[in-house]
Amino acid sequence: MLWAAGGLGLIIGLVMGGLGGGGGVLTVPVLVYLLGQDARDATTSSVIIVGIAAAIGAVARIRGGLVRWRTGLGFGLVGVPAAFLGTLLNQSVDQQILLLSFAALTLLAAIAMLINSRGGPHGEASEGDCGDEELASGAPTGSGSAAATGMRAPAATRQRRRIALAAKGAFFGVLVGFLTGFLGVGGGFLIVPVLVIAMRIPMTCAIGTSLLIIAINSVASLVSRAGFAEFDWQVIVPFTAAAIVGTLAGQRISDRFSGTVLTRTFAVMLILVAGFVAVESLGSW
């Protein structure tokens, strides 16, 4: 069990560090189908594993200037109350419904990412673009002319863009916070598509920002579970330790690929996971 948890944790950490999400999407099925936990215990374990690994990964990317602080903190904090609500609902829903909901949302996120990746390479921006938050809701990033246009925009236009960006962040922050509590995932499988598609953030910046949001959401979900959750530390400790190592290694791997490649890889991974969970859940209903 110890070696299995460590090996699986390493793989999941690589995915999180390289793609900015997907840790919970992989961790929950692994804990349920390979390590024998029930869905509720698995969602609790997943929150701890993914939350700690995401926090370490976020710190590493913050040092490299690859995190949008205002977007990440705002997105994460507005989702805290929703995470508590989602956790309460988690306790009253049938295990198979939880897993099928998980599969359906994962598939939708994957389809959105694939469709968006055909429209242009949102991940080709440089590291400096991660600090240019007020342009995030404007024209697609990665284009020097688009950025220049945003810089010359009147103050009123920039203000409208900031308000629109804040509104998007609040809406999706609440949605992802709720799903973090309900499904026991960090939410990266939804956060990354939202940051890239809805908020027009380059994939290279979305990865680090997503890890920051995941860490915040995971803390909120874990606190809300503290009174009744059961923790299998024999699985959680080696799994988490290996996931941290994998997360740091995953960052080095992702730095070698373009945002478009990372986006499509992320989407394909989500489709595979969604299909596996759906088949397993329907087969055991």
Contact criterion met (CB below 8 Å) for 281 and 96: yes
Between 182 and 259, name the one with better pLDDT. 182
Predicted TM-score (pTM) of this structure: 0.74
Residue 128: predicted pLDDT:
44
Between 100 and 135, name the one with better pLDDT. 100
* pLDDT tens for each residue of 42-98: 888 888 888 898 898 888 888 878 888 888 888 888 888 888 888 888 778 887 888
Q: If you write DSSP's letter for every residue of 124-174 in order, what string do you get? A: ---GGGGG-GGGTTSSPSS-HHHHHHHHHS-HHHHHHHHHHHHHHHHHHHH
Q: How confident is the model at residue 133 (pLDDT cuts 50, 70, 90)?
A: low
Q: How confident is the model at residue 109 (pLDDT cuts 50, 70, 90)?
A: confident
Instruction: Find the mean pLDDT for residues 113-129.
Output: 56
Amino acid at 116: N
How far apart, in whole angstroms, are the C-alpha atoms of residue 167 and residue 225? 29
**What CA–CA distances, in Å, run from 24 to 148, 169, 200, 253?**
38, 21, 24, 20
* Residue 32 reports pLDDT greater than 70: yes
pLDDT above 70 as % of the chain: 83
Alpha helix ranges (H) inside the chain? 2-19, 23-29, 39-63, 69-78, 80-90, 95-117, 144-152, 155-183, 188-193, 203-225, 233-254, 259-283
Between 73 and 139, name the one with better pLDDT. 73
* pLDDT tens for each residue of 233-278: 888 899 999 999 988 888 788 778 777 787 788 788 888 888 888 8
Residue 93: predicted pLDDT:
81
Q: How confident is the model at residue 137 (pLDDT cuts 50, 70, 90)?
A: very low
How far apart, in whole angstroms, are the C-alpha atoms of residue 126 and residue 132? 11
Residues 6+ apart with CB under 8 A from 160: none
- Mean pLDDT across the chain, nearest whole number? 78
